[in-house]
Amino acid sequence: MSNSSSITEFLLLPFADTRELQLQHFGLFLGIYLAALLGNGLILTTIACDHRLHTPMYFFLFNLALLDLGAISTTVPKAMANSLWDTRAISYSGCVAQVFLFLFLISAEFSLLTIMSYDRYVAICKPLHYGTLLGSRACAQMAAAAWGSGALCALLHTANTFSLPLCGGNAVDQFFCEVPQILKLSCSQSYLRHVWVLMIGFPLASMCFFFILFSYVQVFRAVLRMPSEQGRHKAFSTCLPHLFVVSLFVITGLFAYMKPFSISFPAQDLMVSFLYSVMPPAVNPLIYSMRNQELKCAIRNMISVMFLKSDKLLLFLHK
Cβ–Cβ < 8 Å for 12, 88: yes
Q: Is residue 206 part of a domain?
A: yes
Mean pLDDT of all residues belonging to the chain: 81
C-alpha span between 73 and 85 (Å, rounded): 18
| Lowest pLDDT segment from 23-32, 208-217, 255-264 | 255-264
pLDDT in tens, 200-236: 667 777 788 888 888 888 888 887 777 777 666 666 6
pLDDT in tens, 62-73: 999 999 999 999
pLDDT in tens, 93-140: 999 999 999 999 998 998 998 999 899 889 888 888 888 899 999 999
The CATH number of whichever domain residue 92 belongs to comes to 1.20.1070.10
Report how far Cα 240 is from the mean position of its chain's Cα atoms.
18
| Inter-CA distances, 18 with 12, 22, 23, 25, 84, Å | 16, 6, 9, 11, 12
Its domain, for residue 203, covers 9-318
Q: Is residue 217 part of a domain?
A: yes
Report how far Cα 171 is from the mean position of its chain's Cα atoms.
25
Q: In this predicted structure, what is the pLDDT of residue 155?
A: 92
Using the predicted structure, report yes or no on whether residue 262 has a pLDDT greater than 70: no
How many residues does this entry show for the chain? Answer: 319
Q: Is residue 295 part of a domain?
A: yes
Query: Number of structural domains, the chain?
Result: 1
Q: Is residue 1 part of a domain?
A: no
Q: In this predicted structure, what is the pLDDT of residue 317?
A: 44
Q: Is residue 97 part of a domain?
A: yes
